[in-house]
Structure 1
Amino acid sequence: MDVPLPFLLLLSVLHLTLTGVFSKHIDHRNLFTQRLCCKRQSHFVYIGQDISGSPVNVDVGMCKSHCGGASRPSHETRQQEYSRHSSMLEFLRSKKTRPRGPSAPESAGPQAQLPSCGMNQVCEPTGMRVDRLLLLEGPREVEVIQECQCEIKLTQCLRVPALRTYYSDTPYETVLDVGDCSRSKGSPEGFSCVPTKFDSEFVETPNKVELIQTVVTCELKESCYRVPYMEYYYEVVNSDGVKEERLKEINIGRCLGGCTTGNRCLLRNLSDPAVCHLWAEKQPSSCVPEGYETHSFLNQHGEIRTVLSITSCLCQN
């Protein structure tokens, strides 16, 4: 049966109209929209001085989850703003003393308030690059975010994949899964999901073979915790009047974690508090051994050898 052309045109118009109205209500469920909103943004961090004495700022990146809302200034706009000042310190001072302008108007649409990754997901890095920089005080490794993606929020402490690219853009480029521990949201107060067992992988380099530490197992631990660390010694024992040399294994342990807390940001952006312009130096860990055991044995030279092993760790006051 032939359908009149005007009727077909009417159906097409109705389809487009209903599709447009319907998409306004389900756009936040669209997978492409979610992926588009979770993306990498520039985040420059001062690393130090290079061998010429010039400051080194690296774009380590950050994963930002946002849909709608006010747009951020472009890179060119920020560069023009920097160029008006003689130094970065003067620029930061001007940002700190600048009067707060009128707040941005609230977005009329409800979509601007919705998380781009959904209620049970989070915007996180999926690929990292390890850059090696030669600074005045020596070589330093910096991890740079390459890509971001919506990942499911985990409520359990698990070992999760963590891809790292070493010697990028060289004949020795290697991608390894070094592993990481999930940022568990269901952890008890004062506990964190931390690595407790490690392994290693070999990476070929222009000068030598490099050993990269990888995470094998994660567990819920307090911020300062003990992990196994094995050492082997030769022990001489007397068995029925006969001296016998054996291999003695001692788990001497190691203390991992940190006890310092608080915000290291010294200067935040007035219009966007999520942006930090100046960071304080990272405090050294004060997680130290608390309890220990003594292991004494006769070594190959007939001498008594004493080795101490860590049994527990604590935060030093």
Structure 2
Amino acid sequence: MDINGSSLLFLAVLYLTVADVWSKHVEQRNLFALRACCRRQSHFVYIGQDVSGSPVSVDVGTCRSHCGGASRSSAEGPQQEYLKYSSMLEFLRSKKMAGRRPSADSAEPSERTPSCGLSQACEPTGMRVDRVLLFEGPREVEVIEECHCEIRITQCVRTPALRTHFFETPYETVVDVGGCSKSKGSPDGFSCVPTKFGSALVETPNTVNLIQTVVACDLKESCYRVPYVEYYYEIVDQADGIKEEKLKEIDVGRCLGGCTAGNRCLLRSPSDPEVCHLWAERSQTSCGPQSYESHTFLNQHGQIRTVHAITSCHCQN
């Protein structure tokens, strides 16, 4: 073999070796980002008082969606930086403390590297519904169990959403209640929201619960109207003078969505005011009817009946 052939063989072996090492490095880095960045974190929400009058807060959890920002001037990779610490716990603690300290060369929060890549998002993968007995009665609270990287959906579609009811009891049941994709391509002021609903039955020790499920989604404003059909009996006079009873269908409508305002943080960190330890629940009661139309007809008893149907909704002060 001549010198040129030997050189080519050496370069080929060197290329394969470097490619293999780099591939393992990228694989380990992505695995580290998946485990260290896309994970469940505690998120306590105050939900009321129990039967003794004591305040009740539930850790509903949240999914951390970004890795910590790395210094632009640092030439060290993720593995070299991690090797400085004796354990993963020490590394995470140092990252947490570094994130609280302002740094001139550190990346801004908006410039942090997404933990799951540009085409994925850190979303809940396991949810359960806990029943908490409060002073005013039992209350159901959705709790995030685990998080994972999920592919981002650009269209507004219905997505699966599994909920575990009566967790760790003989009546434990998993229901696909459904949800709507978090569409990023929607116009300003519009969101992908449920517009058609269904139901599922869940057996309990005392009765059978009816669980509302999402069947279809569409792009709507934050406060929006959805169809809601009701049926009535109507007496109609025919041309020959005979009265006929017919079934009358009226879409009375419903207002859904939220119009939240104000600060929901109840307890902030003394050392860092931007960190909130306890959040109040998001209010969903300020979306109401804006306009309506009246439907008048003769009921079975010969009396005039008027039904008001919602035609539009808006955020009420």
TM over 0.5: yes
- Matching residue of 2:92: 71
Moved more, 238-247 or 188-197: 238-247
Question: Structure 2: 5+ residue runs without aligned partners?
Answer: 1-14, 70-90
Assess if the C-alpha contact under 8 Å between 1:33 and 1:116 holds in 2.
Answer: no
Shift of 1:122: 0.7
Assess if the C-alpha contact under 8 Å between 1:166 and 1:175 holds in 2.
Answer: yes
Q: Distance in 1 between matches of 2:25 and 2:112?
A: 14
Q: Kindly report which structure 2 residues correspond to 1:23-62, keeping only aligned pairs within 5 A, or say none.
A: 23-25=24-26, 27-28=28-29, 30=30, 32-36=31-35, 37-62=37-62
Shift of 1:61: 1.4
Q: Name the % identity.
A: 67
What's the secondary structure of 1:23's corresponding residue?
helix
Assess if the C-alpha contact under 8 Å between 1:34 and 1:150 holds in 2.
Answer: no
What's the secondary structure of 2:34's corresponding residue?
helix
Shift of 1:63: 1.1
Q: Kindly report which structure 2 residues correspond to 1:6-155, keeping only aligned pairs within 5 A, or say none.
A: 20=21, 23-25=24-26, 27-28=28-29, 30=30, 32-36=31-35, 37-67=37-67, 71-72=92-93, 103=102, 114-155=113-154
Shift of 1:54: 3.0
Q: Distance in 2 between matches of 1:220 and 1:60?
A: 27
- Matching residue of 1:316: 316
Assess if the C-alpha contact under 8 Å between 2:50 and 2:133 holds in 1.
Answer: yes
- The structure 1 segments of at least 4 consecutive aligned residues displaced by more than 6 Å after TM superposition are 14-18, 104-107, 270-274
Assess if the C-alpha contact under 8 Å between 1:38 and 1:150 holds in 2.
Answer: yes
Shift of 1:172: 1.0
From the superposition, tell whether residues 246 and 102 of structure 1 become closer, same or farther in structure 2 (CA, over 3 Å): closer
What's the secondary structure of 1:65's corresponding residue?
coil
What's the secondary structure of 1:141's corresponding residue?
strand
Shift of 1:51: 1.4
Question: Structure 1: 5+ residue runs without aligned partners?
Answer: 1-13, 74-99
Q: Kindly report which structure 2 residues correspond to 1:210-229, keeping only aligned pairs within 5 A, or say none.
A: 210-229=209-228
From the superposition, tell whether residues 299 and 170 of structure 1 become closer, same or farther in structure 2 (CA, over 3 Å): same
Shift of 1:269: 3.7
Q: Distance in 2 between matches of 1:63 and 1:301?
A: 58
Moved more, 281-290 or 166-175: 281-290
Shift of 1:286: 2.3
- Matching residue of 1:304: 304
From the superposition, tell whether residues 137 and 244 of structure 1 become closer, same or farther in structure 2 (CA, over 3 Å): same
- Matching residue of 1:180: 179
What's the secondary structure of 1:71's corresponding residue?
helix
Assess if the C-alpha contact under 8 Å between 2:225 and 2:311 holds in 1.
Answer: yes
From the superposition, tell whether residues 301 and 72 of structure 1 become closer, same or farther in structure 2 (CA, over 3 Å): farther
From the superposition, tell whether residues 280 and 159 of structure 1 become closer, same or farther in structure 2 (CA, over 3 Å): same
* C-alpha RMSD over aligned residues: 3.2
Assess if the C-alpha contact under 8 Å between 1:258 and 1:286 holds in 2.
Answer: yes
What's the secondary structure of 2:25's corresponding residue?
helix
- Matching residue of 1:285: 285
Shift of 1:241: 2.1
Assess if the C-alpha contact under 8 Å between 1:125 and 1:149 holds in 2.
Answer: yes
Q: Distance in 2 between matches of 1:259 and 1:48?
A: 21
Assess if the C-alpha contact under 8 Å between 2:45 and 2:281 holds in 1.
Answer: no
From the superposition, tell whether residues 120 and 307 of structure 1 become closer, same or farther in structure 2 (CA, over 3 Å): same
Letter matched to residue 46 of structure 2: Y
Q: In the TM superposition, what whole-angstrom CA distance separates every residue of 1:210-254 from its partner, at most 9, and x where no partner exists?
A: 111111111111111111111111111122222221111111001
Q: Kindly report which structure 2 residues correspond to 1:207-246, keeping only aligned pairs within 5 A, or say none.
A: 207-239=206-238, 240-246=240-246
